[in-house]
Homo-oligomer: A and B are copies of this chain.
Amino acid sequence: MREVAIIGIGQTPVDEHWDKSLKELAAEAILAALTDAGRDSADALFIGNMLSGMLSKQENLGVLISDWIGLPGMEAVKVEAACGSGAAAFRAGLMAVSSEEVDSALVIGVEKMTESLPIETTEALATAADADYESAQGLSFVAINALVMQLYLHTYGWKHTDFAPFSINAHANALHNPYARLHETITEKDYINARMIAEPINLLDASPTGDGAAAVLLVPADSVTAQDHRIIIKGSSSATDSIAIHSRKDPLWLSAAVKSARKAYDQAGVGPEDIDFFELHDAFSIMSVLSLEACGFAERGQGPRLGLDGDISINGRIPITTRGGLKARGHPVGATGMYQIVEAVQQLRGEAAPTQVENSRIGLTQNIGGSGATIITHILTSD
């Protein structure tokens, strides 16, 4: 088992890319990552994607993309774990390099959602939930999260307004990220007055989807010397919970996040107190709160306090969604986990001004597939 480093990153803006197909978005991010690393090829390609078969009528993405980027012949495969596909592909690439099966691996998360009808997208996203016991009842993804948020407000006595800081913080950070989907400051008043989607989740609790791709190049850590271009993967762990939330003893406790984060902390030899920033999976504001609690940054039921106290801001105790998060950078589902990794690398390289976290050395990323069902945690360090 050898240590693995990220030596190149690339991304496209998250947007409605009417002029670019899935493979063109993928190529843009991959070529940027190769250029950033000063390389022109890699041994293997791991692709995180959830929806291409359903929305683009295209599977076999491995060969589609390796062919399109001018590297036919290379090993290439797609990895799927719903909205956790990006980090799942990253972990597959990590294991490929770490096992010595390959000496370099490109990992990309890519998703193309714009060209489909909204109803098609909603149905396709619902395949992340239990088809028999959730989707078949008409339970969409936002509805599942609304049930969880409702239960949280009821159980712990918070008001909906107490969640405003998560959305406000994400938008504030995205303002300075040229790759973000949304570039608009929002206020608490905007949050309170936002259109209701599925009570209590309103438009500003929910992340926007979009088209996008984000990529990295992985190589053995001992093959690189230049300190400024070497980010090390110190922790990597993936865990699951039941797919349907009704099967869980406590729907407000992300047990897969607890399990996955604890293992990653152990591997890296660190704890929550050592983490300089946390790119979490804020598909809905309730998920920010549950993730912070599961990963040891707040007591159970006390997550909203971190927002109200300013702890989550760039200069706070545990900065989150430093480049906008899913809420404002956007959530091109299978690509999201790779955006988180790319953004963590930007922070660790010191390339995230003006939302740079000072003295940033240890970053935590966490990507979720389904409603807390598949959770993949990574810890990256700058040395």
| Chain B: minimal CB distance from A269 (Å) | 17
| Chain B: minimal CB distance from A12 (Å) | 19
Q: Binding site of A, secondary structure by majority: helix, strand, loop or mixed?
A: mixed
Of A62, A129, A241, A374, the most chain B CB neighbours within 10 A belong to A62
Tell me the bound Cα distance from A256 to B135 in angstroms.
Answer: 40
**Contact indicator per residue, chain A 19-47, by CB within 8 Å of chain B (1) or not (0):** 00100000000000000000000001000
Q: Does A178 contact B (CB under 8 A)?
A: no
A66-B123 contact, Cβ under 8 Å, with A77-B81, A88-B77, A370-B60: no
| Chain B: minimal CB distance from A243 (Å) | 5
Q: Does A56 contact B (CB under 8 A)?
A: yes
The reply to whether B247 and A67 contact each other, CB–CB distance below 8 Å, is: yes
The reply to whether B373 and A131 contact each other, CB–CB distance below 8 Å, is: no
Please, which residue of chain B has its CB at the minimum distance from the CB of A374? Answer: B63
Q: Does A147 contact B (CB under 8 A)?
A: no
Tell me the bound Cα distance from A370 to B241 in angstroms.
Answer: 33
Tell me the bound Cα distance from A335 to B173 in angstroms.
Answer: 45
**Contact indicator per residue, chain A 121-150, by CB within 8 Å of chain B (1) or not (0):** 001101111111001000000000000000
The reply to whether B374 and A56 contact each other, CB–CB distance below 8 Å, is: no
- Within A333-379, which residues are at the interface with B (CB < 8 Å)? 369-370, 373-374
The reply to whether A67 and B243 contact each other, CB–CB distance below 8 Å, is: yes
Of A21, A60, A127, the most chain B CB neighbours within 10 A belong to A60
The reply to whether A72 and B238 contact each other, CB–CB distance below 8 Å, is: no
Inter-chain contacts of A52 with B (CB < 8 A) = 127
The reply to whether B374 and A241 contact each other, CB–CB distance below 8 Å, is: no
The reply to whether B67 and A82 contact each other, CB–CB distance below 8 Å, is: no
A74-B239 contact, Cβ under 8 Å, with A80-B80, A95-B99, A99-B1: yes
Q: Does A203 contact B (CB under 8 A)?
A: no
Inter-chain contacts of A58 with B (CB < 8 A) = 127, 130-131
A77-B127 contact, Cβ under 8 Å, with A95-B95, A247-B67: no
Q: Does A271 contact B (CB under 8 A)?
A: no
Q: Does A96 contact B (CB under 8 A)?
A: yes
Inter-chain contacts of A53 with B (CB < 8 A) = 50-51, 53-54, 124, 127
Tell me the bound Cα distance from A66 to B130 in angstroms.
Answer: 13
5 contacts between A and B (CB under 8 A): A58-B130, A67-B240, A78-B79, A79-B92, A95-B101
8 tightest CB-CB pairs across the interface, nearest first? Answer: A99-B99, A60-B82, A59-B127, A58-B131, A98-B99, A1-B100, A63-B373, A75-B238
Known: A60-B374, A75-B238. 4 other contacts (CB 8 A): A54-B54, A58-B127, A75-B237, A95-B95
